[in-house]
Amino acid sequence: MENLKINISKSGVAADVVKGYEKQALENLSALYNKTGKGNDFLGWVELPAQITDAQFADLEATAAAIRAKADYVVVVGIGGSYLGARAVIDGLNNSFDWLQTSRKNPVILYAGQNIGEDYTHELLEFLQDKSFAVVVISKSGTTTEPAIAFRLLKELVEKKYSKTEAKERIVAITDAKKGALRTLATQEGYKTFVIPDDVGGRFSVLTPVGLLPIAIAGHNIRQLVKGAVDMKGLTAPGVAFDQNPAAQYAAVRNELHKKGKAIEILVNYQPKLHFFTEWWKQLYGESEGKDNKGIFPAGVDFSTDLHSMGQWIQEGVRNIFETVVTVKSPNTKVVVPNDAADLDGLNFLAGKRVDEVNKMAELGTLVAHVDGNVPNIMVEIPQLNEYYLGQMIYFFEIACGMSGYILGVNPFDQPGVEAYKKNMFALLEKPGYEAETKAIKAKL
Ligand code: PA5
């Protein structure tokens, strides 16, 4: 069976230079497994995929089935690591137009708590008034403001529209085993809950109930997703030769490019369904590496759409970027460009070709143009866009991120910088306990 593959031949990094990272990369990989590096209390995700029990899968699947039976719309409430993984996989796998069908096999997944836009919130609540819906609220800390506000409003709507008793059937909470306001609330209200393990940080939590429950509710096979991750764990584990380990190769090459002055890595996809996979990747690498005044800035583009906008910058702007292209070898369906007798659009030279063939030539042409334009290229290829290969790709990027952060010399598993805005927001909102900060921030305005 085919696996995810990496191609670094167009990265401009010579083989002996890549090889120079071998010792460091493999030592760092061992540190992730042996828990001897920085942030070692947040390494639960390394072994996690292989540890999910049949009983845990069955519990998730049964809960998903119960919610699916009750609701046409399911609102997943969460932000950051409690949002992006689920959305990345669901958008990656969903039929792009299923949500527009009048009769559907799967509930439509909606999102809340990932922003504080009042109009968005209003429109969501208004939409749900006459719909059959359920809510999955996700917060590891159980105290994050954005999802807490959204959940307060949605909980009120569920209780008004249905009843407090029915709310127990329509609300599921995913949070810490013991701590946080959401745990207290869920226990008091008698909601079904799932636990986010202590040693798994938000951005590494997609293969916990945080991602698995919404993905199962959306109708996707979570066992295959996790199997992909387990198999990728085997392909990237200590003991695999450095030049055979795709994650070690990726970590080495991106660090070398960074050392050579490439400050920005652009994750590129050619499948619109992967837009939110890029968003997930941006959080994974941005929060893990951007600290201590270090880090590659993770950016993302959707091609060929953005070739008509950002393509100019990438081809000819400041030469401080490199690209990592996620390419899907074979589409799941087939569309052929038809012949047209009049050929008024001049497209008959494409007649009989699959649309994906055109996409692949756009990809190849862009690769050559960008490499010619001094944009180094790394290629990550998966055979197909399905649960199994998304699972492979998730684990690949996670384990590479751990290695890469250690090569950079940071703790990839904390995010101290995320607190700064929260402190200011609470001070400005005059939250009790923030009196001194309120005074200090008002003096700055
Ligand atoms: O990676 C992280 O830690 C963050 O993005 C969090 O996931 C995000 O802030 C949400 O936190 P919580 O799950 O505690 O509500």
Model pLDDT for residues 91-136, shown as the tens digit of each residue = 999 999 999 998 999 999 999 999 999 999 999 999 999 999 999 9
Tell which atom from ligand 1 comes closest to the C-alpha of 175: 13
Q: List, in order, residues 6 or more apart from 183 with CB less than 8 Å away.
A: 142, 173, 175, 176, 177, 193
Q: Give Cα 76 distance to the centre of its chain.
A: 15
Q: Which two tokens stand for residue 84?
A: 């992006």
- How many angstroms is it from 206 CA to the middle of ligand 1? 12
Q: Which two tokens stand for residue 442?
A: 């008002």
Cα dihedral 84, 86, 91, 92, rounded to 10, equals: 100
Compute how many other C-beta atoms are within 10 angstroms of the C-beta atom of residue 352.
Answer: 11
CB of 141 sitting under 6 A from ligand 1:
yes
Q: What ipTM describes this predicted complex?
A: 0.98
Residue 104 three-state SS: coil
Q: Answer whether the bond into residue 304 is a cis peptide, omega within 30°.
A: yes
Q: What is the pLDDT of residues 145-183, one digit of tens each?
A: 999 999 999 999 999 999 999 999 999 999 999 999 999
- CA 316 – CA 297 distance, rounded (Å): 19
- How many angstroms is it from 106 CA to the middle of ligand 1? 27
- CA 238 – CA 107 distance, rounded (Å): 41
Domains of the chain, earliest start first: 5-38+228-417 (3.40.50.10490), 42-225 (3.40.50.10490)
- CA 249 – CA 288 distance, rounded (Å): 18
- How many angstroms is it from 49 CA to the middle of ligand 1? 20
Residue 228 backbone phi and psi in degrees, to 5: -60, -40
- CA 132 – CA 170 distance, rounded (Å): 10
Q: Which two tokens stand for residue 362?
A: 């756009």
- How many angstroms is it from 139 CA to the middle of ligand 1? 7
Question: Distance of CA 230 to CAs 3, 388, 409, Å?
Answer: 12, 10, 27
Residues in the chain: 445
What is the model's pLDDT at position 418? 87
CB of 393 sitting under 6 A from ligand 1:
no
Pocket of ligand 1, candidates 41, 42, 76, 82: which has the most ligand atoms within 8 Å of its Cβ, to mutate?
Answer: 82
- CA 193 – CA 411 distance, rounded (Å): 31
Instruction: Map 167-190 to HEC letters.
Output: HHHHEEEEECCCCCHHHHHHHHHC
377-382 and 5-7 as β-strands: parallel, antiparallel, unpaired? antiparallel
Instruction: Map 136-165 to HEC letters.
Output: EEEECCCCCHHHHHHHHHHHHHHHHHCCHH
CB of 282 sitting under 6 A from ligand 1:
no
Order of strands across the sheet with 171-175?
108-112, 73-77, 133-139, 171-175, 192-195
- CA 120 – CA 127 distance, rounded (Å): 10
H helices present in 71-144, as ranges: 84-93, 118-128
- CA 181 – CA 90 distance, rounded (Å): 28
Contact of 225 with 390, CB cutoff 8 Å: yes
In which region does residue 384 sit, left (phi positive, over 0), alpha (psi from -120 to 50) or beta (all else)? beta
Residue 300 three-state SS: strand
Contact of 149 with 114, CB cutoff 8 Å: no
Tell which atom from ligand 1 comes closest to the C-alpha of 415: 3
CB of 175 sitting under 6 A from ligand 1:
no
Cα dihedral 17, 13, 329, 240, rounded to 10, equals: 10
CB of 300 sitting under 6 A from ligand 1:
no
Q: List, in order, residues 6 or more apart from 286 with CB less than 8 Å away.
A: 295, 297, 298
What is the model's pLDDT at position 190? 98
Any idea which residue has 């100019």 for tokens? 312
Atom 7 of ligand 1, residue of closest alpha carbon: 81
CB of 205 sitting under 6 A from ligand 1:
no
Atom 2 of ligand 1, residue of closest alpha carbon: 202
Contact of 337 with 350, CB cutoff 8 Å: yes
What is the model's pLDDT at position 419? 85
Q: Which two tokens stand for residue 194?
A: 């799932």
DSSP 8-state class, residue 1:
-
Order of strands across the sheet with 5-7?
5-7, 377-382, 321-328, 264-269, 297-302
73-77 and 133-139 as β-strands: parallel, antiparallel, unpaired? parallel
Residues of the chain with pLDDT under 70: none
- How many angstroms is it from 224 CA to the middle of ligand 1? 26
- The residues assigned a catalytic role are 287, 422
What is the model's pLDDT at position 1? 87
- CA 390 – CA 109 distance, rounded (Å): 19
Contact of 229 with 263, CB cutoff 8 Å: no
What is the model's pLDDT at position 23? 97
